[in-house]
Amino acid sequence: MDYPIIGRSIRLNNTIEEEIRFSNFNGFSFHQIWYKDGEIAINIEGPKEKILISYNFPFIIHALIDISELNYHSNVLLRKIEYFNHNEVIIHPVCKKTIIPTNDIMKTFLEDIFNISELYYKHGIKVYLENNSKLESIHNNEEDIMKMHTKCEKLNMVLDIAHMDNYENLKRLIEIKYPNILHISDKHFSAIHEHLPIGEGEIDWKYVFNKILSNYSGKIIFEVNQSDDQIVKSKDIIN
C-alpha cells in the first residue's frame, strides 16, 4: 500500500528558513505556500520567487482568489507556476466583493474555473479546487460542488476536512470527487469555520481514516499554524 505524502502550510510570522528547518527536522516533505493579491506570501526580503527556488524545498501554491478576479489571476498565476516548474496548483475560491452571489455570478464562476482547468491542463498543470466552509457563500455545499465537477472534467478536488458539515457530508463529498489532496485541521461541529490543532476539536480522526478514507494515499497538508509543539502533536496523532 502506498502511504500519504505529508506536508504543511507555512506560518507567515516565521522566516522561510525557520519553516524549512522545522519541516525537515519533523518529517514534513513539502510546504503549502499562499498566493494572495497576485503575490507569493512568504517572509522573505528580496526577490521572493528566485530566493524560494534557491532553498530547493518542495512546495505547492495555494492560491486564494476572489471569484470576481479569476480571469485576471488566471494568467498571473500561470506564469508563476511555470516559473517554479510546477505541475499542480490549489485554488481556494472566495467571494468577498459580493455579499450574496447571484445566479449570474455563480454561472460566471463555473465558467471561469472550467476555462482555467482546461487552460492549465494544456500546460500540463493539474488544478485542485478547495471546498469551502459555510463561512464562504460559494462552493460550500454538495449541489454546487457536484455542478462544478460535473462540468469541469479535468478539475481535481482538495478536500478540506475541517470544512465539512458532518461525517455524512464528508462521505458525499468524496462520492462526488475522490480527493488527491487533503487539508486537515480540527474543528467543533458547532463552529461555522475553525482550524484547530488535531485533537483539540471534535473530529474522530480514526473514524475518518479507518472508515471513510481508509485507502487514501495522496497528499495530506496540515493546516495547523499554531505552535511548534501543536504542529508536531497533530502530525503524531494522524500518524
Whether 1 has a pLDDT exceeding 50, the answer reads no
pLDDT at 44: 85
Residue 136 DSSP code:
S
Q: Above 90 in pLDDT, residue 97?
A: no
29-63 confidence digits (pLDDT tens): 999 999 999 999 998 888 999 999 999 999 999 99
The partner residues of 5 in beta bridges, in order of sequence, read 219
Residue-range domains of the chain with CATH? 5-238 (3.20.20.150)
Specify the pLDDT at position 168: 97
Determine which helix (DSSP H) or strand (DSSP E) holds 43, and give its type and residue range. none
Percent of the chain clearing pLDDT 90 (strictly above): 88
Question: With the C-alpha atoms ordered 142, 145, 147, 153, is the resulting torsion angle positive or negative?
Answer: negative
Cell 476539536 -> residue: 201
Q: What angle do CA 141, 206, 161 make, to 5 degrees?
A: 25
Which of these, 138, 189, 142, 186, lies nearest to 160 by C-alpha position?
186
Greater pLDDT, 74 or 43: 74
**Angle in degrees, CA 141, 116, 137, rounded to 5:** 25
Distance CA 132, CA 199 (A): 22
Q: pLDDT at residue 206 above 70?
A: yes
Least confident of 65-74, 95-104, 117-126, 208-217: 95-104
